[in-house]
Structure 1
């Protein structure tokens, strides 16, 4: 590839390094991400590594190329998620049991608690979003309105899907805004946090993950205070033995009126929302903590007191049994 092909790349104002030395590239990238193995995977091609990088409060924007065919093994990322969007070329990605060939049509999401290996083929260039693990978890809990277990994503981010494509445009738009000096340097910490929360929140909403069943946004900003109190009570107490009378008493209205308001706003009743919340939380635990909890323990932890009714209700809601969900290991 001609040398001038590399003259202008995303985030060029924020050059971290450019080198033809493999050891130097490994050392500098390792400081920004984590220690890792970096080796040439073939003798052909010119190693010409470059990283552009700008860090925000809880995430960083990056552009990386290596030029030559390289193998990369960071193991577990531990403290951060990494979204990699190829601009050119391709990369073989393995994160835990999930593997894919990443291209400009299929980005990758690396989960921090799964062993990762990669091979970036010659000519591969990517923009990367590094997200602090604790921050993403906090955003997910804020969206769900309740405490969550482990968050893991599906590794393949399909950029042809409408919602994912919209997220990708936001990500690329942020990179362009940074390049134009319109983001990340205002000194307004609240604005920066809101920007980062919006980007991470939309990723959680569009990309399949262990908490997806709990992240569906159903409440409108104009919902009556009675409904907001009722939904908050359901989210906080769904593990307990509560029913319609408890919910309506907390909301400050009659059971009949609460049912009417729920039906009008959500198309379902408050007791059904209670059951849906319990089932969604059970699915979250089955996907996130399948190795540490038995199905019976998950049923109890999600507020189900009768195991048989739990299994029947779960299959009706999700089209598969709890055992099937656990055995599938979708995000392992």
Structure 2
């Protein structure tokens, strides 16, 4: 965990003004005060995707931060070492590796980092999250979306969210999925859906619509008809006329896997048939994989071998 985002180093500095200026560029303007007995040794790592920013920050000193209110983003923070204190109005919250904090836009707050605090953070675009909420639940927001400040990560749904975050941080750090526009959007959507379903907020959620086998068949038929096109859970749900939340639940109940796992399974079957029938002198694995709707070829090859026991090139060469 302490090596995450090393490829995306933004800053290493001992200078207060430089640190304050650079962190303000990534997050927001703030006043940074250092404990008299401490000296800064700040490391900042940051990678921005389309709607999220994945970061890791260590000040290397005991510091007190008085930020201006966040304007256009939410800020999720998880110390992976040390601890942090957040002051909200008349309430104080301590959190560490087993508790995450989430700060809302336009909220007055201050923070104190311990000398050894090393934290992960996610900068969440406010308009993107609001837009996703309305599509995910098929209903408008009732006022501003506001989250509770702290969530336990060592139990229940919070533990599930933490496992997802660890995987996505690893992928943002070392993987290549965030380099593919379609896959990046799917990963962001997965994060948004989990955050909204798990973290307590002030919006009244509708009950999950119970899907009939006919609705699931409609979704499957749509997937099969558009298998080679860019597909998303949102697009499939809009065709059936339900929320993405209900689509997830329906596939879990009737199919046993998520909608996008079903899409991948069908694409693997499709490309397998193409490979079995293709002339290796005229076609390549890459060409056939792209025709079947795959965009991440390295992941396709790994998934294909896991399912069929051989590399896709071996299947193609069997026709020689």
- Which band: TM-score by shorter chain? 0.5 to 0.7
Is the contact between residue 49 and residue 66 of structure 1 (CA under 8 Å) also seen in structure 2?
yes
Structure 1 residue 116 displacement after superposition: 1.7
Q: 1:198 to 1:10 in 2, by over 3 A?
A: same
Q: Distance in 2 between matches of 1:89 and 1:219?
A: 43
Q: Distance in 1 between matches of 2:96 and 2:73?
A: 22
User: Of 191, 197, 209, which aligns to 1:219?
Assistant: 209
Aligned to 2:120: 127
Residue 139 in structure 1 maps to residue 132 in structure 2: yes
Is the contact between residue 177 and residue 183 of structure 2 (CA under 8 Å) also seen in structure 1?
no
The equivalences for 1:307-326 within 5 A come to none
Q: Distance in 1 between matches of 2:90 and 2:214?
A: 45
Q: 1:75 to 1:82 in 2, by over 3 A?
A: same
Residue 37 in structure 1 maps to residue 40 in structure 2: no
Aligned to 1:157: 151
Residue 173 in structure 1 maps to residue 163 in structure 2: no
- Structure 2 unmatched ranges of 5 or more: 219-240, 242-252, 254-320
Residue 185 in structure 1 maps to residue 154 in structure 2: no
Q: Distance in 1 between matches of 2:89 and 2:193?
A: 24
User: Of 80, 89, 96, which aligns to 1:87?
Assistant: 80
User: Of 204, 208, 231, which aligns to 2:196?
Assistant: 204
The alignment's TM-score, normalised by the length of structure 2, stands at 0.64
Q: 1:97 to 1:141 in 2, by over 3 A?
A: farther
Q: 1:160 to 1:24 in 2, by over 3 A?
A: same
Aligned to 2:298: none
Structure 1 residue 144 displacement after superposition: 2.0
Structure 1 residue 178 displacement after superposition: 2.3
Structure 1 residue 220 displacement after superposition: 4.5
Structure 1 residue 157 displacement after superposition: 1.4
- 1:178 alignment partner, SS class: helix
User: Of 1, 11, 16, which aligns to 1:17?
Assistant: 11
- 2:147 alignment partner, SS class: coil
- 1:184 alignment partner, SS class: helix
Q: Distance in 1 between matches of 2:144 and 2:188?
A: 20
Please give the per-residue CA displacement for 1:143-181, whole angstroms capped at 9, x wherever unaligned.
221110211111011112221111111111111112222
Q: 1:203 to 1:98 in 2, by over 3 A?
A: farther
Structure 1 residue 224 displacement after superposition: 4.6
Q: Distance in 1 between matches of 2:69 and 2:44?
A: 21
Is the contact between residue 140 and residue 215 of structure 1 (CA under 8 Å) also seen in structure 2?
no
Structure 1 residue 194 displacement after superposition: 1.7
- 1:104 alignment partner, SS class: coil
The alignment's TM-score, normalised by the length of structure 1, stands at 0.62
Structure 1 residue 222 displacement after superposition: 4.1
Is the contact between residue 95 and residue 111 of structure 1 (CA under 8 Å) also seen in structure 2?
no
Please give the per-residue CA displacement for 1:29-71, whole angstroms capped at 9, x wherever unaligned.
101111111110x212331111100000011100000010001
Aligned-residue RMSD, C-alpha: 2.4
Structure 1 residue 80 displacement after superposition: 0.4
Structure 1 residue 98 displacement after superposition: 4.6
Count of aligned pairs: 218
- Structure 1 unmatched ranges of 5 or more: 1-5, 229-250, 252-264, 266-332
